[in-house]
Amino acid sequence: MGDMAHPVLTMPAGFLWGVSTSAYQNEGNNTNNQWSAWEKTPGRIFDGHCAGAAAGWWDLDIAAADFDRAASLGLNSLRISVEWSRIEPAPGVFDRTALRYYARMVELLRARGIEPLVTLHHFTDPLWLTALGAWENPRVEDYFARYVTRVVEALGDSVSFWCTINEPIIYAYAGFLSGYFPPGVTSLRRTLRVLRHMLFAHARAYRIIHRLQSSTRVGTAHNLRVMIPADAARLADRGATAFLNQIANTAILEAVINGRLTPLLGLGQRFSPLLDSSDYIGLNYYTAVRVAFDPSRPGDLLARQFFTPGAELSDLTPLGEAYSEINSEGLYTALKRLAAYGKPIYITENGLPDRADDMRSRFITGHIAAAWRALQEGVDLRGYFHWTLVDNFEWAAGWSLRFGLYELDPDSGVRVARPSAAVYARIARANGISADML
């Protein structure tokens, strides 16, 4: 069979191996956005946790040391986000120091042979925008366009790979339907308004970036939860699954690629600025779920979601339920579905909370193997970004969920590589998975 260390599942030349991060979760000492305000409200964050210094990335020396760690793993790309509230602390007032800081971050990545993928909005809004109604205010499109223009001009040609908005569906759902994220609202009407404005703002941003940069890739990162009918023989379960899939998964993709707004988002008409406003599809995949029709759950759109009985599950959330089921077949299914849109695909997030690190190595290997299988069947997959490099502040779950390849002590800032980091490094350096790893 030859050398057992030789990759048997080899990715194409130029494949991107990376990790994903976000500004708020990594930088620390963010005080001017709606999440920093949310943290101060009792009962909103698990066990009263606060981001504090987070992973310390608002110190370039600490960020650079983590970039060294990424390079040591053999990674050639890293997804960061820029913090709107630092860059535009007051309406129309831009902080040149913050813009220079992010430009320097990008330089540090480039110097290590790491291509930056820069996300312009990752869940956080400046407090001044919140006071104006944030994404419920139709003028948010103008505000976002102004901000995007400044960032792209400041970072220049050292960035040619952009994500406009991370997971619009999660921002809208968690903030305005489940109320788990700020502003803690539970209104379907307001959820849909926010989603519509995010889509329109994305379309504007897409055109702005392409106007400012002749050669660039622009898209969104879309959370896709693979949904499977609880009982495939039951029409009600199949219907509930199809309905949820349409809202949670298909609506965003139909908008940013085909310019088509579903009836829920805007009477089913086309919105021409959205048409073909993604050069690639960013896939954030964490789990698959079973869906059963349940008329007793109007707030959950008449559906109950649950994990496959007997499936291996990741760590528990503060609500006492598993964060995800480990289902690499779901990633294969997601990639096959996305291939129908005819765009290059990047897995922009994939990971699991696993404090003990007793599942992550198998998770990474299994999911990359599933991605490789999709690639063999013609899916145009160009990169894989693991979530995440170093344990970070996991939003409402605080420090309770640990996604890092490196364990972080939030008090001391000390990092310790988990065994899974070495596994991911072997894959990235070999550009594939070897027989002995399988």
Cis geometry, peptide bond prior to residue 183 (ω within 30 degrees of 0): yes
pLDDT at residue 53 is higher than 70: yes
Going by pLDDT thresholds of 50, 70 and 90, the confidence category of residue 5 is low
CA atoms within 13 A on the CB side of 237: 15
Superfamily of domain 7-429: Glycosidases (3.20.20.80)
Residue 1 reports pLDDT greater than 70: no
Q: Does residue 262 register a pLDDT over 90?
A: no
Render pLDDT for 401-414 as a digit per residue (tens, 0 to 9). Answer: 999 999 999 999 99
pLDDT in tens, 295-350: 999 878 899 999 999 999 999 999 999 999 999 999 999 999 999 999 999 999 99
pLDDT at 278: 98
Question: What residues have CB less than 8 Å from 117, skipping those under 6 apart?
Answer: 18, 77, 78, 79, 80, 161, 162, 163, 346, 348, 385
Domain boundaries along the sequence of the chain = 7-429
Task: Using pLDDT thresholds of 50, 70 and 90, give the confidence band for residue 3.
Answer: very low
The pLDDT of 377-388, averaged and rounded, is 98
What's the pLDDT tens digit per position in 167-188? 999 999 999 999 999 999 999 8
pTM of the model: 0.97
Task: Tell me what pLDDT residue 97 has.
Answer: 98
* Sequential DSSP letters for 163-220: EEEE-HHHHHHHHHTS-SSTT----HHHHHHHHHHHHHHHHHHHHHHHHH-SS-EEEE
Q: Look at residue 293 and give its three-state secondary structure.
A: strand
H/E stretch holding 146: helix 140-155
4 has a pLDDT exceeding 60: no
